[in-house]
């Protein structure tokens, strides 16, 4: 691969301020590039988002290989137990593991309105019972419908078949053989790992999973995933939209019409494990809402040969410099003079109306200089005080969700309006607050910039 072309990708990322967190490239079994972009850092976990679905699906293959499950044609009701299932009809009895793997369950599950069925499932006391109890709307296997809750059913099936959570099964049957030592994966009230999302891995470990897929389920001399299962997993089994276009395999997105063809695990915000068999290539992206294809074009152009290229020390040095520079924070800019309103609100706590982000209150403290302090109270916890960069450089502090750091910055937009960015980085979520202070109250305009959600507006009042 051409180091100079890869260095050009870093130029593009900097020029466009692309919100990428890491880029890992493996070609011909070699780690070609392993880069991290500030404020994300090496050796940190990262939310894989819906790439989790691909890992859950892979674990189904592992369970079949270990004869914990008989096959993909095994009926779901036979594994999870039929007597207590609501809306049980002959079509539901024909629902198989493969139908869940290929998003063709036929259940009354909907992806629109911000994954409304997933939201309803998460609001119920028994997520597996909720999903199994949904009515059937079509014969299983007939219609593709993206259904995160169906992947949670697969996680429940893994637990039923193995006696442990999908995380614990992964730890000894998949992660340990791959040398993956650290992972985080939350579970529901019944101990079922979130089958659709929230698995946290290090980017290099994501690349190991991609390399396992590339090699047909084999790692070193062990067949961790049955070869025939893996061959079927990367074939198109259902069609999300009109053809030509991406197809869906077993928890994987398949692009047979691309040149060369690829398949990948894909998650919101730009999370990807992309595999290009013809080029013996695995690429892992993590980020906070960006389009990996913008960087992928440079990776494609960088591939020059199936053999080693002549040594080019100048290009190699340029790439090494770009990789080092990516880990550094941006240059600070002069701090503008704070308005009079900063003294008025400093240290005050503002109680907030009910809102979908479960924020109860906040306070901002301004003491002069380039840093302020933020205190957030959520429904389930009091966040630690967070430093806020006022000079264009987010301040990074520890102990966010899953123990990952949080980067916070802010600036006065007008005499009474303050804009605050609360970036969870490795957890993907980046919340932008526009706080407008009037008399004893504040209006809050909150946007989740890492996913296409509508802006939420609500009010607060000083305590």
Within a domain: 439: yes
For the chain, the average pLDDT equals: 95
**C-alpha span between 200 and 202 (Å, rounded):** 7
Within a domain: 204: yes
Q: What is the 3-class SS of 206-232, one letter each residue? A: HHHHHHHHHCCCEECCEECCCHHHHHH
**Are 233 and 350 part of one and the same domain?**
no
Q: Residue 289 has what pLDDT?
A: 87
**Are 376 and 247 part of one and the same domain?**
no
**Are 253 and 344 part of one and the same domain?**
no
CATH of the domain at 409: 2.40.128.20
Bridge partners of residue 94, in order along the sequence = none
**C-alpha span between 49 and 429 (Å, rounded):** 11
CA 39, 40, 45 angle in degrees (round to 5)? 150
**Are 293 and 369 part of one and the same domain?**
no
Within a domain: 298: yes
**C-alpha span between 229 and 244 (Å, rounded):** 25
**Are 156 and 241 part of one and the same domain?**
yes
Query: How many domains is the chain built from?
Result: 2
Considering 297, 324, 351, which residue would you say is the last residue of a domain? 324
Q: Residue 454 has what pLDDT?
A: 65
Considering 268, 295, 324, which residue would you say is the last residue of a domain? 324
- Among 142-156, 243-257, 272-286, the minimum mean pLDDT is found in 243-257
- For the residues 326-349, what does the mean pLDDT come to? 95
Within a domain: 297: yes
Within a domain: 331: no
**Are 266 and 364 part of one and the same domain?**
no
Quote the percentage of the chain above a pLDDT of 90.
Answer: 90
Six-digit token string for 13: 């990322």
Within a domain: 334: no
What is residue 31's DSSP assignment?
E
Within a domain: 329: no
CATH of the domain at 200: 3.40.710.10
CB atoms within 10 A of CB 132: 24
**Are 12 and 83 part of one and the same domain?**
yes
Give the pTM: 0.95
**Are 276 and 421 part of one and the same domain?**
no
**Are 293 and 347 part of one and the same domain?**
no
First to last CA, the chain: 60
Contact 422/433 with Cβ under 8 angstroms? Answer: yes
pLDDT above 90 (res 61): yes
Q: Give residue-wise pLDDT tens across range 363-377.
A: 999 999 999 999 999
Domain holding 225, by residue range, is 3-324
CB atoms within 10 A of CB 103: 23
Q: Give residue-wise pLDDT tens across range 109-133.
A: 999 888 999 999 999 999 999 999 9
Pick from 228, 186, 183: nearest CA to 61 = 228
Is the four-CA dihedral 336, 342, 347, 348 of positive or negative sign?
negative
**C-alpha span between 400 and 434 (Å, rounded):** 22
Q: Residue 453 has what pLDDT?
A: 57
**Are 290 and 406 part of one and the same domain?**
no
pLDDT above 80 (res 416): yes
Burial of 426 (0-12, 13-18, 19+ CB in 10 A): buried
**Are 315 and 344 part of one and the same domain?**
no
**Are 300 and 216 part of one and the same domain?**
yes
Q: Residue 83 has what pLDDT?
A: 63
Within a domain: 332: no
Integer CA distances (angstroms), 76 to 60, 90, 188, 235, in order: 13, 12, 19, 22
Contact 285/23 with Cβ under 8 angstroms? Answer: yes
């Amino acid at each position: 691969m051409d180091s100079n072309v890869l260095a050009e990708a870093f130029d593009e990322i900097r020029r466009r301020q692309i919100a990428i967190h890491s880029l890992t490239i493996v070609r011909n079994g070699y780690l070609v590039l392993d880069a991290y972009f500030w404020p994300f850092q090496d050796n940190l976990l990262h939310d894989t988002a819906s790439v989790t679905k691909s890992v859950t699906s892979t674990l189904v293959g592992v369970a079949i290989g270990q004869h914990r499950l008989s096959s993909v044609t095994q009926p779901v009701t036979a594994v999870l137990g039929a007597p207590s299932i609501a809306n049980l009809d002959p079509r539901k009895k024909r629902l198989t593991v493969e139908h869940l793997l290929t998003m063709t369950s036929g259940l009354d599950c909907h992806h629109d309105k911000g994954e409304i069925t997933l939201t309803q499932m998460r609001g119920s006391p028994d997520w597996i019972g909720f999903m199994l109890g949904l009515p059937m709307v079509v014969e299983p296997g007939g219609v593709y419908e993206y259904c995160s809750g169906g992947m949670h059913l697969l996680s429940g099936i893994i637990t039923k078949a193995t006696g442990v959570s999908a995380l614990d099964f992964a730890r000894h049957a998949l992660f340990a053989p791959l040398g993956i030592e650290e992972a985080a994966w939350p579970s529901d009230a019944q101990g079922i790992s979130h089958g659709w999302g929230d698995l946290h891995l290090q980017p290099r470990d994501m690349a190991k999973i991609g390399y396992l897929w590339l090699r047909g389920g084999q790692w070193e001399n062990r067949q961790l995933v049955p070869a025939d299962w893996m061959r079927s997993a990367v074939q198109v089994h259902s069609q999300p939209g009109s053809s030509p276009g991406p197809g869906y395999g077993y928890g994987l997105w398949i692009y047979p019409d691309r040149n060369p063809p690829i398949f990948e695990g894909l998650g919101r915000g730009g999370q990807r494990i992309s595999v290009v068999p013809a080029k013996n290539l695995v690429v892992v992206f993590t980020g906070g809402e960006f389009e990996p294809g913008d960087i992928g074009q440079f990776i494609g152009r960088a591939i020059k040969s199936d053999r080693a290229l002549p040594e080019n020390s100048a290009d190699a040095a340029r790439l090494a410099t770009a990789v080092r520079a990516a880990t550094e924070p941006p240059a600070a800019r002069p701090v503008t003079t704070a308005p009079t309103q900063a003294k008025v609100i400093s240290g005050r706590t503002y109680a907030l109306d009910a809102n979908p982000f479960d924020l109860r209150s906040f306070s901002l403290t301004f003491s002069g200089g380039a840093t302020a302090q933020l205190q957030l109270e959520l429904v389930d916890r009091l966040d630690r005080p967070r430093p806020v960069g006022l000079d264009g450089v987010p301040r990074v502090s520890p102990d966010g969700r899953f123990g990952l750091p949080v980067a916070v910055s802010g600036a006065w937009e007008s005499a009474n309006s303050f804009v605050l960015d609360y970036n969870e980085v490795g957890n993907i979520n980046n919340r932008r607050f526009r706080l407008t202070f009037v008399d004893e109250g504040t209006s809050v305009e909150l946007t989740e910039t890492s996913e296409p959600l509508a802006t939420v507006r609500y009010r607060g009042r000083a305590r």
